[in-house]
Chain A
């Protein structure tokens, strides 16, 4: 995805067990912070309807 031009950081992977609630919270916070810094996504958004 990043190769294709999605900003680095917008796509993230994590492995959280159902028993790891604290890890889940920290991952969510971390990802939210990074994404907020990146701002709204303008790629992969359908902006206009194209009629052929």
Chain B
């Protein structure tokens, strides 16, 4: 970890000194434990603020859409796939970017760690695949691999797919992962049970739209939920409106979502709204063999036509 962050800082200083980029998007330490915050580094001497550990779960590609000038960005596997998606969707040009690739071994699920302790978690230190959690009157060392966010434990693209420079050696990709076990569980329920499942899932939603704001795919100038002429969705807390927001947002991400987990991570009430996007991800994979963002040069299935596209649903 320390070698990686030192290398990142070195690269960042280099590209800023040579004026190859105007700014670098990375992470710095947040004000509370396990919450690193995105930051924009504009001069070489600010590079020391940068951090890299298992709390960098926010997707930095979110800060790229429609940005002008030359930009450096630190990208783990999922970020790089979202950068590729941005390039496909003309939200940024490849030649504007200097991508510092960082192989990723997963981000820790801070909610799970907080739930394990009664007191406030004040500090989390990492070394060699273990995390030490410290509070006012407790300290415990845990295996990092058992504390990963669910999407990270199922991730099969840990290494960046596009980059200009790598900050560390690639890591081994996880093999034989059943990415869609949770989706299959829901599929096995009958229609009424599924309705109830999602009803319960979304019950705590306060519609703060944090999931949308953290999502790199949600860059529409006016989101359909904010539109008032016409007003597509009611703005109330009514379960129908809440559900309409979530499933429509998921549809907008069909064939684009990389399951980076930013939405779930930022949710203040801890809803796993990824079950919506994952179903669409699974369908895209099964029907079109598509995984989003693996290359900036391949058009996604929803904007290409092939005569053998599945069409059994049309009568």
Give the interface of A toward B (CB within 8 A): 1-8, 12-15, 27, 30, 43-46, 49-50, 52
Q: Which of B64-72, B143-151, B234-242, B263-271 faces chain A? A: B234-242
Nearest A residue to B195, CB-CB: A5
Tell whether A45 pairs with B240 under 8 Å between CB atoms, given A3-B186, A27-B315.
yes
Interface of B, helix, strand, loop or mixed by DSSP: helix
A40 vs chain B, min Cβ distance (A): 15
Q: When each residue 190-201 of chain B gets 1 if its CB lies under 8 Å from chain A and 0 otherwise, what string results?
A: 011111111100
Q: Which of A3, A12, A49, A50 contacts B194, CB < 8 Å? A: A3
Cβ of B313 under 8 Å from chain A: yes
Min CB–CB distance B63 → chain A (angstroms) = 31
Say yes or no: is B314 at the interface (Cβ < 8 Å to chain A).
Answer: yes
| Count: A-B pairs, CB below 8 Å | 49
Measured CA separation A50–B237 after assembly (Å)? 7
Does more than half of chain A's interface fall in helix, strand or loop, or is it mixed?
loop
In the complex, chain A residues whose CB is within 8 Å of the CB of B237: 50, 52
Chain A residue with minimal CB distance to B189? A5
> A13-B315, A30-B315, A49-B238 given. 8 additional CB < 8 A pairs?
A3-B186, A4-B243, A5-B195, A5-B196, A12-B315, A13-B313, A14-B314, A14-B315
Task: Looking at the assembled complex, report how far the CB atom of A41 sits from the nearest CB atom of chain B, in whole angstroms.
Answer: 11
> Are B315's CB and A2's CB within 8 A?
no
B197–A5 touching, CB < 8 Å: yes
